[in-house]
Amino acid sequence: VQQIIIRAVQPARQREDQAAAIKAGKQSLKGKPTKQEQRKEAETLPLSRPQFLEVLLRAALVLDSRASVADAFKSFADRIITRRVMLPPLSPFPRGLTLVEGEYQDTLLARRKTIREAWERFGCSLNAFKAMAQLLKLCDRSFTAKHVQSIFALAKRPTPECRASRGRPGLSYEEFCEALTRLALVWRRTAP
């Protein structure tokens, strides 16, 4: 999988680096970086959405090379992503659930003061949210700070790339309620 990611990322990164070097009109003082340095740098950078989709398609084709691309991707999504990755707390969360009458809304309303205080204290940043998970003693070998970071990222509403700006780093109250619900799923799963 690591080689698939490198193949997907490397050509685009090289084009971006060359364009940046041309704009700057400068060469690095050390000279040309080695292949190992280039690979290490490519591994540390985040994937763009098209690169991520390319990685998924390549992985699907590796696992089911005899099927067509569409069939291989569909079976990969059904067998791997849905059954192994998209499990609670990473499964999709129904948006607008707070507006629907029921047990979820009743619980949020009954505990709104406590949840509001927790949001004011722990919803302001990722580090504060991680601290809350550690205070709740949710983090162990099977559920680490990376899982908490994933829950934080999943709870944030996506913003279009054209409007990407330096917004607030924390969660809104609704996003915090969603993240808290995802943490509750982890607690319920690990509780005796």
Residues of the chain with pLDDT under 50: 26-29
State residue 117's pLDDT score.
Answer: 94
Q: Contact at 8 Å (CB) between 80 and 92?
A: no
* Alpha carbons 113 and 111: distance in angstroms, whole number: 6
State residue 142's pLDDT score.
Answer: 81
State residue 29's pLDDT score.
Answer: 46
Total Cβ atoms within 10 A of residue 114: 9
Q: Contact at 8 Å (CB) between 151 and 89?
A: yes
State residue 131's pLDDT score.
Answer: 92
State residue 164's pLDDT score.
Answer: 53
Question: Which spans in 89-172 are helix H?
Answer: 103-110, 112-122, 126-135, 145-155
State residue 58's pLDDT score.
Answer: 86
Sign of CA dihedral 51, 57, 60, 61: negative
pLDDT per residue as tens digits for the range 122-154: 999 999 999 999 998 888 888 888 888 888 988
State residue 114's pLDDT score.
Answer: 92
The two structure tokens encoding residue 104 = 């979820």
State residue 161's pLDDT score.
Answer: 59
State residue 139's pLDDT score.
Answer: 81
The two structure tokens encoding residue 44 = 């540390």
Residue 89: is the preceding peptide bond cis (ω within 30°)?
Answer: yes
